[in-house]
């Protein structure tokens, strides 16, 4: 029998509906898990234990209400909360307190969710890592920039957490930490109260331990009634997309994905190869100029007034690129990406989803970087929904994910297709 902290959000919700679990019991179990694992993982920038217990008790005094009733969650520390500091992973903002919740936090609280605290982010959700370690091996990176959210869910501290993604900041830590990570169609989820990095690319990112939990949280954040994923999903047509990045994948990860494509075909899915034409090899360069140009202008105040408190890694990377990028170069890159987005549907054709890699293999040893971001950046730039599933284990016992790419504005079809893929490969 599972301990409460091991339950997915929907499993916990069903037990609360049945009267066999209280919100307080779930909160205390998760807090005990945090006490056990946090010294090794360091997922939290701010943990509000007393407030979580008080909120859980308040929920227990009333009827079971919203779809997240009593469910613990964490949010990346670039997301505003009225009752906790928001520090953006930077000493510039240490102890800063905003007056309002971000829209995504307000929606979760109104749905009955119990906010446990703020999870560690890299500096301004960019390059320089925070203190978090991989929950499966503390010698290894948890990925970034939503490192704390991925590690908190991967260590079973909370069943749900929010991150963001501008390049690879949700999919990569989810894959490295062995959880389900989802980056929706660009523009679907509101970013009011979330510190902007590059608005042309930014999106919320959702992390959980099941596809069904991702669907539940997505509906909450869309502000609509929960529509459960039910029934047996149809067998999808799957495009296996190695892309020009395939040579960078570690051999064990490549072999696992090749085997997965064969197993999916043997299970009845139609699997075809999808090749991206040569211009797609230039997406990463265009992404670099768009994201850097916007980032450098969004952080003009910090550049002007707090340059010495910005890490050298950020100054010599994203900011150097962005400050040196002309508007003409930015506009050329932005227009180039817009053109490829228009071409992508014809290339994918009648495939329901694409199968590809979320990253180049297991989380690498060392916490001074967050790993290779390119495998996610390609799809982030295309504005399409992406989902990574923790389906495999690598030669060092670390999680390896499979990334599924959906059609723009057809996220629910992606989630249903992911259910079928997960069942076929489990």
CATH code of the domain containing 418: 3.40.190
Q: What is the pLDDT of residue 168?
A: 98
Residue 229 lies in a domain: no
Domain that holds residue 148: 4-222
φ/ψ region of 26 (left if φ > 0, alpha if ψ in -120 to 50, else beta) reads alpha
Please state, in angstroms and rounded to a whole number, the distance separating the CA atoms of residues 149 and 172: 12
**How far is the CA of 269 from the CAs of 235, 266, 423, in angstroms?**
5, 7, 12
| pLDDT surpassing 90 at residue 155 | yes
| 100's tokens | 């309002």
Q: What is the pLDDT of residue 261?
A: 98
Residue 420 lies in a domain: yes
Please state, in angstroms and rounded to a whole number, the distance separating the CA atoms of residues 366 and 348: 37
Same domain, 101 and 246: no
Residue 391 lies in a domain: yes
- The pLDDT tens digits for 259-302 are 999 999 999 999 999 999 999 999 999 999 999 999 999 999 99
Coil/strand/helix, residue 19: coil
Contact between 127 and 318 under an 8 Å Cβ cutoff? The reply is yes
The model's confidence at residue 65, banded by pLDDT at 50, 70 and 90, is confident
The closest of 287, 136, 270 to 201, measured between CA atoms, is 287
| pLDDT surpassing 90 at residue 64 | no
Number of H helices, E strands in the chain: 15, 11
As a whole number, the mean pLDDT across the chain is: 98
Q: What is the pLDDT of residue 214?
A: 98
Same domain, 164 and 259: no
Place of tokens 């446990």: 116
Residue 228 lies in a domain: no
Same domain, 128 and 242: no
CB atoms within 10 A of CB 51: 15
Coil/strand/helix, residue 173: helix
| 125-138: average pLDDT | 97
Same domain, 99 and 187: yes
Contact between 75 and 150 under an 8 Å Cβ cutoff? The reply is no
Residue 227 lies in a domain: no
- The pLDDT tens digits for 193-238 are 999 999 999 999 999 999 999 999 999 999 999 999 999 999 999 9
Q: Which residues pair with 355 in a beta bridge?
A: 240, 404
Please state, in angstroms and rounded to a whole number, the distance separating the CA atoms of residues 205 and 335: 25
The model's confidence at residue 347, banded by pLDDT at 50, 70 and 90, is very high
Same domain, 326 and 396: no
Distance of CA 327 to the CA centre of its chain: 30
The closest of 335, 347, 419, 421 to 384, measured between CA atoms, is 347
E-only strand ranges, 241-396: 270-273, 353-356, 386-393
Same domain, 273 and 420: yes
Q: Percent of the chain, pLDDT > 90?
A: 99
Please state, in angstroms and rounded to a whole number, the distance separating the CA atoms of residues 85 and 120: 12
The model's confidence at residue 42, banded by pLDDT at 50, 70 and 90, is very high
Q: What is the CATH number of the domain that holds 126?
A: 3.90.1300.10
Same domain, 287 and 357: no
Q: Which residues are catalytic?
A: 76, 145, 169
């Amino acid at each position: 029998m599972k301990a409460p902290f091991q339950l997915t959000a929907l499993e916990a919700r069903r037990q609360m509906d049945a009267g066999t679990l209280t919100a307080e019991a779930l909160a205390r179990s998760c807090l005990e898990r945090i006490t056990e694992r946090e010294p090794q993982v360091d997922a939290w920038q701010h943990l509000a234990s007393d407030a979580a217990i008080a909120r859980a008790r308040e929920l227990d005094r009333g009827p079971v209400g919203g779809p997240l009733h009593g469910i613990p969650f964490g949010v990346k520390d670039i997301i505003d909360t009225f009752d906790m500091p928001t520090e953006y992973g930077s000493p510039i903002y240490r102890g800063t307190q905003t007056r309002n919740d971000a829209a995504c936090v307000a929606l979760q609280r109104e749905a009955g969710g119990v906010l446990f605290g703020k999870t560690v982010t890299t500096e301004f959700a960019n390059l320089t890592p925070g203190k978090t370690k991989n929950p499966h091996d503390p010698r290894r990176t948890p990925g970034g920039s939503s490192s704390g959210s991925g590690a908190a869910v991967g260590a079973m501290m909370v069943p749900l957490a929010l991150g963001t993604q501008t390049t690879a900041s949700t999919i990569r830590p989810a894959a490295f930490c062995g959880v389900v990570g989802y980056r929706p169609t660009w523009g679907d989820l509101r970013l009011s109260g979330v510190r902007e990095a590059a608005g042309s690319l930014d999106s919320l990112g959702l992390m959980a331990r099941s596809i069904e939990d991702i669907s539940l949280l997505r509906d909450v954040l869309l502000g609509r009634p929960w529509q459960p994923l039910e029934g047996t999903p149809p067998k999808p047509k799957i495009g296996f997309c190695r892309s020009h990045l395939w040579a960078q994948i570690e051999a064990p990860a490549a072999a696992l994905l090749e085997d997965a494509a064969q197993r999916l075909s043997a299970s009845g899915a139609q699997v075809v190869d999808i090749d991206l034409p040569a211009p797609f090899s230039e997406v990463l360069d265009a992404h670099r100029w768009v994201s850097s140009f916007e980032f450098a202008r969004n952080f003009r105040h910090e550049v002007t007034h707090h340059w010495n408190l910005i890490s050298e890694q950020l100054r010599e990377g994203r900011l150097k690129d962005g400050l040196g990028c002309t508007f003409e170069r930015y506009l050329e890159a932005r227009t180039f990406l817009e053109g490829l987005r228009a071409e992508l549907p014809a290339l994918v054709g009648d495939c329901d989803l694409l199968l590809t890699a979320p990253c180049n293999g297991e989380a690498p040893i060392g916490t001074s970087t967050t790993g290779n971001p390119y495998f996610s950046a390609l799809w982030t730039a295309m504005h399409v929904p992406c989902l990574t599933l923790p389906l495999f284990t690598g030669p060092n016992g670390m999680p390896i994910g499979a990334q599924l790419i959906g059609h723009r504005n057809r996220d629910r079809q992606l989630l249903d297709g992911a259910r079928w893929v997960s069942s076929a490969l489990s």
